[in-house]
């Protein structure tokens, strides 16, 4: 029911749950039931990419930025998925510097590739997922003055609609009720 409700909107969705509970399948189901289903769905593991590469994966880079990279540059996942959906899997592992850049993107829906002064408007729906307690991480961020944790302003931007997936061991309890 929550998947169907969230699919009828275009707001950001935060999917919470333990590892292996089907967060990515839930995100894909939301996309497939949405008005964006004919456009791209791309997923990126925010914890599986080194911090210095995550920005170029999401926002791309302009031609000539890196001497050993593709000379034409790269558009980045947000531009590739324009009109579609991007899943930011394991967003709780996203470095703080990238959290600030993602927040900026969510505010103005524009990307600026690394090495460029140009900005490009992008219409992409963001779905985020994590097995971490982001609210506890926000407390860590606030108490450490930005050295670790999770930004509260970003949390409220990605949590417009929230879906919690219970652990597999608890699902029998839900199905019997």
Full DSSP string of 90-141: TGGG--HHHHHHHHHHHHH-EE--BT----EE---EEEEEESS-HHHHHHHH
Q: What's the CA gap between 105 and 119, in Å, rounded? A: 11
Check residue 141 and give its pLDDT: 75
d(CA 19, CA 14): 15
Cα 165 from chain centroid (whole Å)? 17
pLDDT tens, residue order, the chain (177 aa): 999 999 999 999 999 999 999 999 999 999 999 999 999 999 999 988 887 789 999 998 887 666 665 567 788 999 999 999 999 999 999 988 899 999 999 999 999 988 888 999 999 999 999 999 999 999 887 665 656 789 999 999 999 999 999 988 777 655 555
Distance CA(126)–CA(129), nearest Å, equals 10
Distance CA 64, CA 73 (A): 7
Q: Residue 68: what pLDDT? A: 60
The pLDDT value recorded for residue 14 is 98
pLDDT at 163 (0 to 100): 97
Angstrom distance (rounded) from CA 82 to CA 117: 20
Beta strands in the chain (DSSP E): 13-17, 41-45, 85-89, 110-111, 120-121, 125-130, 161-165
């Amino acid at each position: 029911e929550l998947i169907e409700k969230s699919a009828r909107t275009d707001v950001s969705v935060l999917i919470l749950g333990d590892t292996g509970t089907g967060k990515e399948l839930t995100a894909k189901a939301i996309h497939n039931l949405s008005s964006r289903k004919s456009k791209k769905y791309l997923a990126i593991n925010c914890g599986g990419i080194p911090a210095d590469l995550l920005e170029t994966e999401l926002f791309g880079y302009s031609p000539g930025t890196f001497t050993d990279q593709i000379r034409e540059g790269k558009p980045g996942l947000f531009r590739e998925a324009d009109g579609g959906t991007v899943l930011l899997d394991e967003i709780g592992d996203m470095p703080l510097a990238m959290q600030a850049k993602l927040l900026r993107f969510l505010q103005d829906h524009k990307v600026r590739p690394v090495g460029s002064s140009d900005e490009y408007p992008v219409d992409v729906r963001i779905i985020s997922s994590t097995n971490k307690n982001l609210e506890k991480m926000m407390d860590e961020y606030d108490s450490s003055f930005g050295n670790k944790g999770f930004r509260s302003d970003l949390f409220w931007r990605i949590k417009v609609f929230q879906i919690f997936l219970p652990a597999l061991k608890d699902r029998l309890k839900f199905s019997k009720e």
